[in-house]
Structure 1
Amino acid sequence: MKDNGGSGGAGRKQGAASPCAACKLLRRRCSQECVFAPYFPADEPHKFASVHKVFGASNVNKMLQELPEHHRGDAVSSMVYEANARIRDPVYGCVGAISSLQQQIDVLQAQLALSQAEVVHMRMRQYSTSPVNHSPENHSPPSPPDSNHFWYEHGG
């Protein structure tokens, strides 16, 4: 990625005429070997802008060069996520977002446990106040149904 001052991208991958977002922002010629081109397309300039602002183009270039190609896409996704989180929260970044989500999970789990306890309490109250449960004939276990009786009544 030599800086030749031009923005010609005729030799780039897939024959694209415009430079990738990284080369355009850095005002470089986007070559066919450009490490940024597959991950920072020209139509998504905000992705590289935030990554460049937080990590710097040189560091991103080094990170991508050190990774096998099959891991680079995931690395770029992570860098974009972290960069956007750092721009929103410069101190905690994505850790702040994760912490906030964990607190929401804790609150929701407590609410769920309370709701489940209320359901059990309501069922117990319903069971204990049901008139069927207080009748004398319900104190003995129910007898199994007579299968012959069923068949005679239902035409079996």
Structure 2
Amino acid sequence: MGGNSPCASCKLLRRRCARDCIFAPYFPSDDPQKFAIVHKVFGASNVSKMLQELPVQQRADAVSSLVYEANARMRDPVYGCVGAISYLQNQVSELQMQLAVAQAEILCIQMQNEPAVVTMPPNPQLELDPLPPHHNHKSYFLQNELPHQYLNFASSSNVIHHDMVS
């Protein structure tokens, strides 16, 4: 930097900030905590080596990643950002499951308003009880234990398992 104030890294390390200081563009003197946490987790020497190995246009992104990982390591020393990623992946899975349940509920409601088409496999040994005249065909087949792969509803290509219907 070579000017008035040394960068945050040189200030913390108590050294003179050279004109070509590799830390100066990424760790300004007005944000000393940013370098302090990266230094504590990775060490100044390691950070310097990492930055020197990268093209200049990639260094700012690398510093952002190092700061993020260092903060994550301070919060969770064992897992770091992997713990945060795992937590977020679990949240996504839970939300996907809730979405699937909601979609199944919507489909069940739609099925209640549509006539059912039932296709049976060619099986001469399969015997069905005759439908009582007052039963709705759709509710009869949904309430009885027919294998779910044989239920084929006219407006939907989705297979509905009988345990999803309330």
- TM-score of the superposition, structure 2-length normalised? 0.66
Within 5 Å, give how 1:122-137 maps onto structure 2. Answer: 122-127=109-114
Matches within 5 A, 1:68-107: 68-107=55-94
Q: Which residue of 2 aligns with 1:52?
A: 39
The structure that is helix-richer by fraction is 1
Unpaired stretches in structure 1, ≥5 consecutive residues: 1-8, 129-156
What's the RMSD between the two structures over aligned residues?
A: 1.3
Write the distance in 2 (CA, Å) between the matches of 1:126 and 1:46: 62
Q: Which amino acid aligns with 1:44?
A: D
- 1:152 maps to none
- Alignment of 1:111 onto 2:82: no
Stretch deviating more after TM superposition (25-34 or 51-60): 25-34
For these two proteins, the number of residue pairs brought into alignment is: 115
- Give deviations 1:80-100, integer Å, cap 9, x for gaps: 111111111000111111111
Alignment partner of 1:33 is 2:20: yes
Deviations 1:40-61 (A, max 9, x none): 1111111101100000011111
1:22 aligns with 2:9: yes
Distance in 1 separating the partners of 2:93 and 2:13? 44
- Residue 18 of structure 1 and its aligned partner are, at CA, apart by 1.4
* In structure 2, C-alpha distance between the alignment counterparts of 1:107 and 1:56, rounded to whole Å: 38
The 2-side partners of 1:85 and 1:99 are apart by 13
Sequence identity of aligned pairs in percent? Answer: 69
**TM-fit CA distance, 1:19:** 1.2
SS in 1 for 2:73: helix
TM-score (norm 1): 0.70
Gaps of 5+ in 2: 116-166
For 1:22 and 1:97, the matched residues in 2 are separated by: 27
Distance 1:102 1:123 in 2: 31
Q: Residue 30 of structure 2 corresponds to which residue in structure 1?
A: 43
Q: Any runs of at least 4 consecutive aligned residues in structure 1 with deviations exceeding 3 A, and if so which?
A: none
Residue identity opposite 1:109 in structure 2: Q
Letter in 2 for 1:32: R
Give the partner amino acid of 1:117: A
